[in-house]
């Protein structure tokens, strides 16, 4: 945008200085998910919050004073692949570190704890309330960037344990704003992971179901800047008490944003457009993967690292679509909207203040459907499914952003956030040209199919070449698989980048104006109108149901209270617990029900009555995986790893009678570490007898 409107707004209204004093700190206890929520003692709540960590897109818990973290096996999948070699198949055979020297570095994995939260709503509202609506959103973005930068810079380098990052978070569709301060550990190492076959026992098709018999557990350790294990002032011990049916439990973690104020019109778009379209492409891509491997079985090694996650996503979205086809819940949602619309119609004062936000969103969704494919295929990578292209776009957008002063960049490109981009670009990203050609060819075929062969953007992108010619040229000619090569562009500037002979960089540069146009159209015609209307709807819900602040951003700390319980599916009562005995009863001679040799050998020494998996009524979402399930005494009784199929609609509505989280029982963690893996030192550390 050149000298952007955001830069102009900052110039007109002056650079704002925010000094946040210690007395401004507030309890984060207001940040609770709806579910069976009850107020807990603030000291207890803060202890739980400071013990819970965000692990990129998962959660975890400090469980010893020596920086030991418990989470899920599937949350450390990337670390397992990084450390797998022909000599040491960590991915399939697992890993047990018998000493600190055997703990394996997890490059790119960070452990973040929410140290402090400051309510800045009044500061922000004073700055933007007097502004015209047309510039409010842009001004809010500028304030967000400046506050995050100032706060982060103020704390930089002041703690040997880790770095600090500040994030401005909005709640209730922008009706409340808080500044969160995170301590980030960038040195995280793998301590324990079981064999893949037990972590995924039952296979992907059992996801979002129960009964389950799975040991989806991993242990990590966080290190400080001096490469010493951090001393965890706050941690939650593993419980020695066995939880029982109907016991109260607390879940804690960093899930994705909830959108329970989402409207029927938006849900219809998700149900009728987004999910079917995604599943159509996913199944076609899955078929190509199978054919790719069938032609040469040695190719399995090229794709095996991401096929499980891809299949998981297919199962998740398939279950979400199934749940969104629940007419009863849709009718309930529609009735809520009608009641609010009637309230507006009967109150001229409210009508004048709010208008009809439901109609506004319905119109925005109509426009959304008309521009959906341009945005999807040009901006959201659906048309360019390639790791090399993803790297090229990251390089192009970062270099473009660096042409501006930090305060005038989008938040992710500001100086204090650049470490995330450089970490991603400098990571060990395996690139196989044959896989790249297969996925990129298919996605460009979709681009051509959905936008049309004669679409001017498609014509310009192909530039007289066939899809095969374009793919061969860009994939075979690119050097972006080299970390040194791609990182080198960041310091050379945009003009040098434009002169690059790398064909994938040139493709990303060519597509950028098309993507920018699609993005701008989407933001102006869909995103902003929906955001404005959503704030009004949130305020209306608050009038009728009371305030219920949900984070607007993903992976923000939350907790809630539930109970250990099953549920009724149709007329059948579902169980709430499974045992190690049931695991052995389900075992077969081949995957996905094949047990590792270590488990078979240890069967006679195991207490087969040990509770393995259980269900709770806690409200969980994507990102809750790896988070603790805690008893009222502050001890970890389990670790969340899944949910039944009703959890897939938790972002939209919470069916408290049937939505259930699924966890691994802490009793099983101790039993298995000791008797299957002989990890006695880890068991002692978990029981807080020693610190390694």
What is the per-residue pLDDT across 566-624, written as a single tens digit (0 to 9) for each?
Answer: 999 888 999 999 999 999 999 999 999 999 999 999 999 999 999 999 999 999 998 99
Q: How far is it, in rounded angstroms, from Cα 615 to Cα 609?
A: 17
Q: Does residue 243 carry a pLDDT above 90? A: no
Give the DSSP H/E element, type plus range, for residue 184: strand 176-185
Q: Where are the alpha helices (DSSP H) in 346-386?
A: 348-354, 357-374
Q: Where are the alpha helices (DSSP H) in 221-326?
A: 264-269, 275-295, 300-303, 307-324
Q: Does residue 692 carry a pLDDT above 60? A: no
Question: 256-280, pLDDT tens digit by residue?
Answer: 877 767 899 999 999 999 999 999 9
Structure token pair of residue 631: 């008893």
- Do residues 660 and 212 lie in contact, with contact meaning Cβ atoms separated by under 8 Å? no
Higher pLDDT, 440 or 145: 440
CB-based burial label for 163 (10 Å; 0-12, 13-18, 19+): buried
Question: 199-215, pLDDT tens digit by residue?
Answer: 999 998 899 999 999 99
Give residue 563's pLDDT.
95
Task: Please state whether 577 falls in left (phi above 0), alpha (psi between -120 and 50) or beta.
Answer: beta
- Do residues 603 and 597 lie in contact, with contact meaning Cβ atoms separated by under 8 Å? no
Give residue 144's pLDDT.
83
Q: Does residue 61 carry a pLDDT above 50? A: yes
Q: Does residue 21 carry a pLDDT above 70? A: no
Q: Kindly state the percentage of the chain with pLDDT values over 70.
A: 91
Class for the domain spanning 31-110+186-256+556-692: mainly beta
Of 48-57, 195-204, 402-411, 576-585, the poorest mean pLDDT is in 402-411
- Do residues 598 and 592 lie in contact, with contact meaning Cβ atoms separated by under 8 Å? no
Give residue 661's pLDDT.
97
Instruction: Return the number of other C-beta atoms located less than 10 Å from residue 429's C-beta.
Output: 16
User: Looking at residues 169-197, what average pLDDT do you find?
Assistant: 89
Whole-model pTM: value is: 0.77
Mean pLDDT of the chain: 88
Residue holding tokens 């015609």?
Answer: 525
Q: Does residue 131 carry a pLDDT above 60? A: yes
Q: What are phi and psi of 690, to 5 degrees?
A: -140, 160
Give residue 173's pLDDT.
64
Q: What are phi and psi of 288, to 5 degrees?
A: -65, -40
Q: Does residue 33 carry a pLDDT above 50? A: no
375 pLDDT band (50/70/90 cuts)?
very high
Domain ranges of the chain: 31-110+186-256+556-692, 264-543
Give residue 7's pLDDT.
32
The strand pair at 187-193 and 163-171 is best described as unpaired
User: Looking at residues 484-508, what average pLDDT do you find?
Assistant: 96
Give residue 550's pLDDT.
55
First to last CA, the chain: 54
Q: Does residue 28 carry a pLDDT above 80? A: no
Candidate ranges 165-174, 201-210, 432-441; pick with highest mean pLDDT: 432-441
Give the DSSP H/E element, type plus range, for residue 71: strand 68-71
Q: How far is it, in rounded angstroms, from Cα 681 to Cα 16?
A: 53
């Amino acid at each position: 945008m050149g000298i952007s409107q955001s830069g102009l707004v900052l110039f007109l209204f002056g650079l704002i200085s925010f000094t946040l004093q210690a007395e401004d700190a507030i309890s984060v206890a207001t940040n609770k998910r709806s579910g069976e929520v009850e107020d807990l003692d603030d000291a207890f709540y803060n202890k739980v919050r400071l013990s819970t960590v965000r692990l990129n897109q998962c959660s975890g818990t400090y469980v010893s004073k020596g920086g030991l973290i418990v989470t899920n096996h599937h949350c450390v999948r990337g670390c397992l692949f990084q450390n797998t070699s022909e000599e040491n198949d960590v991915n399939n055979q697992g890993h047990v570190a018998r000493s600190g020297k055997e703990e394996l570095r997890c490059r790119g994995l960070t452990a973040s704890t929410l140290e402090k939260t400051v309510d800045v709503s009044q500061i922000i509202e004073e700055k933007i309330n007097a502004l015209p609506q047309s510039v409010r959103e842009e001004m809010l973005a500028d304030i967000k960037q400046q506050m995050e930068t100032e706060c982060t810079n103020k704390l930089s380098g002041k703690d040997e344990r880790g770095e600090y990052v500040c994030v401005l978070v909005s709640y209730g569709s922008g009706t409340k704003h808080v500044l969160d301060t995170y301590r980030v550990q960038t040195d995280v190492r793998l301590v324990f992971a079981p064999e893949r076959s037990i972590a995924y026992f039952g296979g992907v098709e059992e996801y979002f179901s129960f009964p389950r018999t799975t040991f989806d557990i991993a242990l990590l350790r966080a290190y400080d800047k001096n490469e010493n294990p951090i001393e965890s002032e706050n941690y939650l011990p593993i419980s020695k008490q066995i939880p029982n049916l109907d016991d109260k439990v607390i879940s804690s973690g960093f899930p994705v944003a909830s959108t329970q104020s989402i409207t029927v019109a938006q849900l219809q778009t998700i149900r009728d457009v987004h999910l079917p379209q995604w599943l159509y492409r996913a199944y076609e891509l899955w078929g190509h993967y199978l054919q790719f491997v069938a032609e040469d079985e040695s190719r399995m090694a090229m794709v095996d690292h991401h096929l499980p996650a891809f299949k998981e996503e297919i199962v998740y979205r398939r279950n979400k679509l199934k749940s969104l086809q629940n007419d009863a819940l849709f009718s309930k949602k529609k009735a809520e909207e009608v009641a609010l619309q009637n309230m507006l119609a009967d109150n001229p004062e409210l009508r004048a203040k709010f208008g009809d936000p439901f109609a506004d969103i319905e119109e925005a969704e109509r426009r959304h459907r008309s521009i959906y494919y341009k945005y999807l295929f040009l901006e959201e990578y659906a048309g360019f499914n390639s790791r090399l292209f993803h790297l090229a776009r990251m390089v192009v957008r970062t270099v473009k952003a660096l042409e501006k002063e930090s305060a005038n960049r989008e938040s992710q490109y500001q100086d204090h956030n650049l470490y995330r981009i450089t970490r991603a670009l400098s990571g060990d990203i395996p690139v196989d040209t044959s896989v790249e050609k297969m996925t990129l060819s298919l996605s460009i075929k979709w681009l051509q199919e959905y936008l049309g062969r004669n679409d001017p953007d498609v014509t310009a992108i192909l530039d007289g070449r066939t899809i095969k010619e374009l793919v061969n040229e860009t994939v075979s000619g690119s050097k972006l698989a080299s970390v040194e090569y791609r990182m080198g562009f960041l310091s050379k500037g945009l003009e040098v980048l434009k002169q690059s002979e790398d064909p994938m960089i040139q493709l990303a540069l060519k597509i950028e104006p098309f993507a920018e146009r699609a993005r701008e159209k989407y933001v102006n015609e869909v995103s902003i109108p929906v955001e404005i209307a959503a704030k009004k709807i949130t305020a209306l819900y608050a009038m009728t149901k009371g305030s219920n602040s949900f984070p607007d951003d993903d992976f923000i700390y939350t907790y809630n209270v539930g109970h250990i319980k099953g549920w009724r599916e149709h007329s059948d009562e579902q169980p709430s617990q499974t045992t190690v005995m049931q695991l052995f009863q389900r075992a077969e001679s081949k995957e996905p029900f094949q047990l590792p040799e270590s488990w078979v050998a240890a069967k006679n020494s195991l207490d087969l009555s040990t509770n393995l998996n259980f269900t709770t009524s806690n409200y969980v979402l994507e990102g809750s995986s790896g988070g603790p399930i805690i008893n009222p005494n502050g001890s970890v009784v389990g670790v969340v790893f899944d949910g039944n199929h009703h959890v897939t609609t938790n972002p939209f509505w919470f069916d408290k009678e049937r939505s259930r989280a699924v966890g691994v029982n802490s009793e099983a963690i101790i039993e298995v570490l000791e008797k299957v893996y002989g990890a006695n030192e880890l068991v002692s550390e978990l029981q807080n007898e020693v610190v390694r």
